[in-house]
Amino acid sequence: DAGVIQSPRHEVTEMGQEVTLRCKPISGHNSLFWYRQTMMRGLELLIYFNNNVPIDDSGMPEDRFSAKMPNASFSTLKIQPSEPRDSAVYFCASSQRQGPGGELFFGEGSRLTVL
C-alpha cells in the first residue's frame, strides 16, 4: 500500500511568490491533517479535514495560508504571498478514524525555504 504522498519534497522560493504544497492521503482514510514543523515552534496543526470538509483551521497562521480538499484523494496547502518566516517542513497526515485514538500516517514532508 502506498503511504501518504507529498510533493514537492523540497521547495526553494523567493519572498512574495506563491507556494503550493500537495498531498495524496492513503486510500480509504477519512481525515487529513496539515502540520508545520519548525525548530522554534515544533509541530503545529494548521488545519484538518473530515470527509473533505475543513473542521478546524484555527492553526492557520494568517490569511496568506489556505487549504483545500476538493476530493478524498487530494489536498493542497497554499501560501500566497510567501515570507521567509514560512520556512519550515510541512507535513500531511491521514487517518482512517475520525474520532480520537486513530493512528496518523504521515508523509515525508515538504521542506519549504523562502528566501
Partner 1 sequence: AQTVTQSQPEMSVQEAETVTLSCTYDTSESDYYLFWYKQPPSRQMILVIRQEAYKQQNATENRFSVNFQKAAKSFSLKISDSQLGDAAMYFCAYNTGTASKLTFGTGTRLQVTL
Residues of this chain that interact with partner 1 (CB under 8 A) are 31, 33, 42-43, 45, 48, 50, 55-56, 89, 91, 93, 95, 97-104, 106-109, 111
- Specify the amino acid at residue 3: G
CB of 86 to partner 1, least distance (A): 18
Dihedral, CA of residue 25, residue 49, residue 12 and residue 2, to nearest 10: -10
CB of 29 to partner 1, least distance (A): 10
Q: Which is nearer to partner 1, 47 or 114 (CB)?
A: 47
CB of 109 to partner 1, least distance (A): 5
Q: Which is nearer to partner 1, 27 or 38 (CB)?
A: 38
CB of 88 to partner 1, least distance (A): 12
- Under 8 Å between Cβ of 24 and 105: no
- Specify the amino acid at residue 37: Q
- Strand ranges inside 1-115, DSSP E: 5-7, 10-13, 19-24, 31-38, 42-50, 53-56, 65-71, 74-79, 88-95, 105-106, 110-114
Q: Which is nearer to partner 1, 42 or 70 (CB)?
A: 42
